[in-house]
Amino acid sequence: MAKNRTVAGAGTLATAALVLLFGNQPMTEWVGNHATNPDSAWDWFLRTLTWPRWAVGPTDGGGDAMRRLLADDLRAILLVAFVAIILAVVAKTVSGGVGGFFLGWSAVVFGSALAAFLTAFIVSNPSILNAFQVAAAGSAYGLFVGWIVGAVTAGAKGTGS
């Protein structure tokens, strides 16, 4: 039982750390201003890392800015929550290693897509097409960043079974 919580806990903490470190407003603004080379894989990866952006307050005024802020913040929270739920439910059958790697990685793919899909309906003029598009962006985040969570869950070890 301790292994299950360790795998789930490690993956949840890794996801929360990625969201907190790379999704915060100063980081997303810095990446937006400096990672602008479309031919650079590193700049592209930095922009992908900042996808689950969150902020303390809106950058501009108006109701649309508040809706965007709510959607972005809720998406970041739901990403961590969905990854935690997926890991907690499925980690009962995985105790780290290769299985933990794929579990952590896929939890971020599914969690980020679901969080993006659900929060797409908060913004002004929501549509199912927009929800599908942001879910696709979320799954891309999971595909290219989720391996970090996968590596953490692969290395998770418990004290007993």
- DSSP string of 2-43, one letter each residue: HHHHHHHHHHHHHHHHHHHHHSSHHHHHHHHHH---TT-HHH
Determine the pLDDT at residue 161.
45
pTM for the model stands at 0.88
Q: Are residues 24 and 42 in contact, defined by beta-carbon separation less than 8 angstroms?
A: no
Each domain of the chain, given as residue ranges in start order, spans 2-154
Residues 6+ apart with CB under 8 A from 98: 154
CA distance 158 to 161: 7
Low-confidence ranges of the chain (pLDDT < 70): 1-5, 58-63, 157-161
